[in-house]
Structure 1
Amino acid sequence: MPDGEIAETPATINVSRIECPPQEALVSKLRSNSYSENSTFGFRQVRRNEGSVEGVLISNSYTSITRIDPETGEPTEDNVTTADRVPFRIDLQNGFLEGYTDRDGNSELLNRLGQVVPQFVSQSLNLDIDQILEVSRRSPHEIDVSALRINNISPEPQTSGNCYLETYTNQVASELVSRYEGDVSYICLNINLAPDEEVTVGIYRSGSVRLFSNSSRDSELLPLIRDLLSEVVADA
């Protein structure tokens, strides 16, 4: 769940900017669209916290499976229903939606919230990678840049492509980000949560976050990521 432990890594959190009704109206709408076995989709485990709302979207997907009838030897088709679960958290203070899922699951989450919640509007974050660097320098935790992804890089005349670069110092990372400005689409950070615990977090310009390391301090890590993103957006 969003404010619990991350079950396994790598894990993906898709963060979007949103506008939505106040907490009470939001919770009421989600609970009035509760999931049941007969519904195409719905919400479960909806709860309010201070400044946020959490829940799980459950959507049914349908698949046809062909099997051979053991008695007749003829192929038959069975329709199988799968209930897909997408945990999410709506940060009302910062206007963020966190979808704990991949890109397809996040699209489903955005679509379903838009169907049932009046005035629900979402947009991608379009983060400034240079601002991520700047905010990370102000963090009370030691944060080092380990990699960057640069699009449309031209190592030689008449050649261009996308490049994944490992970096060894924050100074080198800062110089690369300044040189390629809007072409940097991804930054990977090593965050020291404690003297004996370092976690690796990747952040895409779109707002997608990848957690690559298991941590015993998820209750510290997730708020730290939220604070970093909110500062980056506020400074933009």
Structure 2
Amino acid sequence: MEPSLITAYLLLTRPEIQQVYDEDTQEVTKEEIQTVEMIPFRVDTKYGILEVFANKDSVSNVTNKIGQVTSWETTIENTSFSPQQVLSTIESRYRVELNSIKISDYPITDSAVGSFQIDIDDQNLGRDLLNKHSGDISYLGASVKTDGESVTIGIYNSGSIIVYNNIDNMATVLDVIKEGVVGGGEEVNYA
């Protein structure tokens, strides 16, 4: 276990109405039961990052609950970063294949601008798009190749990174990703 990681679970209890068959009365009745949702999360004190292993709603639940239990003395802010910076940091240690790119503010015509998402089959084309639209990249999907393993990630400029695999044995890859988030990487041109 990493000494810089504090692992916890937020348990949310919610009432739920369930239909139950009562054998004594031979009727279906409504019964309120308590359901428990378990949201795993970690605080990484080395990088100052909150990691929530769930969806956006669960992230909001965790951040709100941390605020409540600390009487709002703990500030949790969204981080913003360049997907290319994070990618650059990862590429300094691992082989990376681009899977997809989303370009925001993509000019369709002189008077029309939209978003453009492309699946990458040709790595050279992907690198060219990264260079040409570097300021407008809002999402990068990539596969990080490690010793016999592959980790698929999605990097959003909104401050989220999604790891699409089981991350149990990927601590070193996650550390490299975190270095990129907190500024350990450099902007690069992709040749």
TM class, shorter-length: 0.7 to 0.9
Question: Structure 1 residues 186, 200: closer, same or farther in 2, change over 3 A?
Answer: same
Report Cα offsets for 1:158-215 as digits up to 9, x if no partner: 4443332122455533432343344322111211111x32221111122322223457
Report Cα offsets for 1:130-176 as digits up to 9, x if no partner: 32233233x22112222112234233444443332122455533432
Q: Does 1:192 align with 2:145?
A: yes
Aligned position for 2:108:
155
Q: Does 1:224 align with 2:176?
A: yes
Aligned position for 1:110:
63
CA RMSD for the aligned pairs?
A: 2.9
Aligned position for 2:32:
79
Residue identity matched to 2:171: S
| Pairs within 5 Å for 1:174-185 | 174-185=127-138
| CA shift for structure 1 position 53 | 1.8
Residue identity matched to 2:83: I
Instruction: Report the secondary structure of 1:104's partner residue.
Output: helix
Instruction: Report the secondary structure of 1:127's partner residue.
Output: coil
Residue identity matched to 1:120: T
Taking the aligned partners of 1:159 and 1:175, their CA distance within structure 2 comes to 23
Instruction: Report the secondary structure of 1:124's partner residue.
Output: coil
Instruction: Report the secondary structure of 2:57's partner residue.
Output: helix
Q: Does 1:130 align with 2:84?
A: yes
**Which one of the candidate residues 4, 8, 15 is aligned to 1:55?**
8
Taking the aligned partners of 2:108 and 2:17, their CA distance within structure 1 comes to 48
Report Cα offsets for 1:5-44 as digits up to 9, x if no partner: xxxxxxxxxxxxxxxxxxxxxxxxxxxxxxxxxxxxxxxx
- Shifted more, 90-99 versus 196-205: the winner is 196-205
Question: Structure 1 residues 181, 209: closer, same or farther in 2, change over 3 A?
Answer: same
* Paired positions, count: 185
**8 Å CA contact 1:145, 1:188 repeated in 2:** yes
Taking the aligned partners of 1:116 and 1:123, their CA distance within structure 2 comes to 17
Residue identity matched to 1:130: Q
Taking the aligned partners of 2:17 and 2:33, their CA distance within structure 1 comes to 6
- Aligned identity (percent) is 21
Aligned position for 2:162:
210
Residue identity matched to 2:41: F
Aligned position for 1:90:
43
Consecutive unaligned residues of structure 1, counting only runs of 5 or more, are 4-48
Question: Structure 1 residues 192, 59: closer, same or farther in 2, change over 3 A?
Answer: same
Taking the aligned partners of 1:235 and 1:155, their CA distance within structure 2 comes to 30
Taking the aligned partners of 1:122 and 1:105, their CA distance within structure 2 comes to 14
Residue identity matched to 2:182: S
Structure number with the bigger relative contact order (C-alpha 8 A, sep ≥ 6) is: 1
Consecutive unaligned residues of structure 2, counting only runs of 5 or more, are none
**8 Å CA contact 2:89, 2:179 repeated in 1:** no
Instruction: Report the secondary structure of 1:93's partner residue.
Output: coil
Question: Structure 1 residues 91, 67: closer, same or farther in 2, change over 3 A?
Answer: same
Instruction: Report the secondary structure of 1:231's partner residue.
Output: coil
| CA shift for structure 1 position 77 | 2.7
Taking the aligned partners of 1:133 and 1:225, their CA distance within structure 2 comes to 8
Q: TM-score, normalised by structure 2?
A: 0.79
